[in-house]
Amino acid sequence: MNSSLIDTSSSQVSGPKFVSMENLSKTYPNGTIALQDVNLTIQEGEFLCFVGPSGCGKSTIFKMITGLAKPSKGTLDVFGTTPKEARKQSDIAFVFQDHTLLPWSTVEANVKLPLELRGVDKKTQKEEAQRVLELVGLKDYMKVLPRQLSGGMKMRVSIARALISRPKLLLMDEPFGALDEITRQTLQMELLNIWQQDTSMTVLFVTHNVFESVFLSTSVVVMTPRPGKISARIDIPVPFPRDDSFRTTTQFSDLVREVSAALDH
Ligand SMILES: Nc1ncnc2c1ncn2[C@@H]1O[C@H](COP(=O)(O)OP(=O)(O)OP(=O)(O)O)[C@@H](O)[C@H]1O
């Protein structure tokens, strides 16, 4: 067996341990074993994609990292502290498939919300909203309501709202799952450009799409069906910046095949 298929420590990106899971398990009160003995070390600056069949526990991992669900067994360390404490420090932000924008608020108001809730002064809120909307290419849409935007634009707003807190850790749960393929590929490229501008931000990205996982990540974590376990961690040893030409290389097809094979294993 290829040793990269069982190595769950990080080898491509060096740096301090950021999130670590040791024998992490989760059994829900109804007896569902969602995760069993997950061991994973994530280092600062990684872009890690999780792929696996539906119900393998990907979202459960995210819930535990954010302190919304408690491990049943094992340990989970986030920035050297408990998930609850890490969340209090506002260093974690999320993006979900459902953009969760407030329909009656403008793009600007939606994006500012995390800062408003934290009592940040209005001038800083405005400056930061402009900064992140520029990052996602929507600075001319500040006064527009979400319903006036396309699906891809709503997702950009959702990403801008997550970035406004300058998170150390960005959790993305199938963010592009509802988008058409062309918009999806455009947003993948834009997300990589944003991440490359802030190399200290760590991104954990759940997807069902093997192509997406290979294109985006420094490593792909492959999970097994319930009870969820990590069956492989496959490094994607392709330097950044990456562009669309990567998708047509032999190396890309080989890596897609490797991840797909691990999924079938
Ligand atoms: N609150 C809960 N109570 C009981 N079972 C749950 C709960 N939340 C999730 N589960 C179960 O735990 C398992 C893992 O769920 P989870 O949502 O983490 O999987 P997932 O890999 O994110 O799935 P998907 O890809 O479909 O989003 C599933 O069988 C799910 O039905």
Does 147 reside within a domain?
yes
Among the three residues 113, 145, 166, which one is the final residue of a domain in this structure?
A: 166
Mean pLDDT of 43-56: 92
User: Cα-flanking dihedrals φ and ψ of residue 114, to 5°?
Assistant: -60, -35
pLDDT confidence of 147, banded at 50, 70, 90?
A: very high
Counting residues of the chain whose pLDDT is more than 70, the rounded percentage is 93
What are the structure tokens assigned to 21, written together? 């899971």
**Residues 162 and 188 placed together within one structural domain of the fold:** no
CATH number assigned to the domain comprising residue 176: 3.40.50.300
Among the three residues 112, 138, 166, which one is the final residue of a domain in this structure?
A: 166
**Residues 54 and 179 placed together within one structural domain of the fold:** yes
**Residues 138 and 182 placed together within one structural domain of the fold:** no
Does 112 reside within a domain?
yes
**Residues 50 and 106 placed together within one structural domain of the fold:** no
How far, in Å, CA of 21 to CA of 40, rounded? 5
Write down the pTM of the prediction.
0.91
Does 116 reside within a domain?
yes
Does 131 reside within a domain?
yes
Whose CA is closest to atom 30 on ligand 1? Answer: 55
Among the three residues 109, 143, 166, which one is the final residue of a domain in this structure?
A: 166
**Residues 73 and 191 placed together within one structural domain of the fold:** yes
First to last CA, the chain: 11
* pLDDT tens digits, 161-195: 999 999 999 999 999 998 999 999 999 999 999 99
Mutational test site, ligand 1, from 24, 27, 28, max ligand atoms within 8 Å of CB: 28
Ligand 1 and 3: CB distance under 6 A: no
Q: How many domains does the structure of the chain reveal? A: 2
3-state helix, strand, coil in the chain (%, to 5): 40, 25, 35
Instruction: Give the nearest ligand 1 atom to 62 CA.
Output: 18
Does 61 reside within a domain?
yes
Ligand 1 and 35: CB distance under 6 A: no
**Residues 176 and 67 placed together within one structural domain of the fold:** yes
Ligand 1 and 70: CB distance under 6 A: no
Ligand 1 and 58: CB distance under 6 A: yes
Ligand 1 and 56: CB distance under 6 A: yes
Instruction: Give the nearest ligand 1 atom to 61 CA.
Output: 18
Question: For residue 207, how far is its CA from the centre of ligand 1 (angstroms)?
Answer: 15
Question: For residue 75, how far is its CA from the centre of ligand 1 (angstroms)?
Answer: 20
Does residue 238 carry a pLDDT above 90?
Answer: yes
* pLDDT tens digits, 51-72: 998 889 998 999 999 888 999 9
**Residues 85 and 182 placed together within one structural domain of the fold:** yes
**Residues 57 and 176 placed together within one structural domain of the fold:** yes
Ligand 1 and 69: CB distance under 6 A: no
Domain that holds residue 141: 101-166
Question: For residue 261, how far is its CA from the centre of ligand 1 (angstroms)?
Answer: 24
Count of alpha carbons within 13 angstroms of residue 157, beta-carbon side: 30
Mutational test site, ligand 1, from 50, 60, 94, 263, max ligand atoms within 8 Å of CB: 60
Does 96 reside within a domain?
no
**Residues 77 and 156 placed together within one structural domain of the fold:** no
Count of alpha carbons within 13 angstroms of residue 97, beta-carbon side: 11
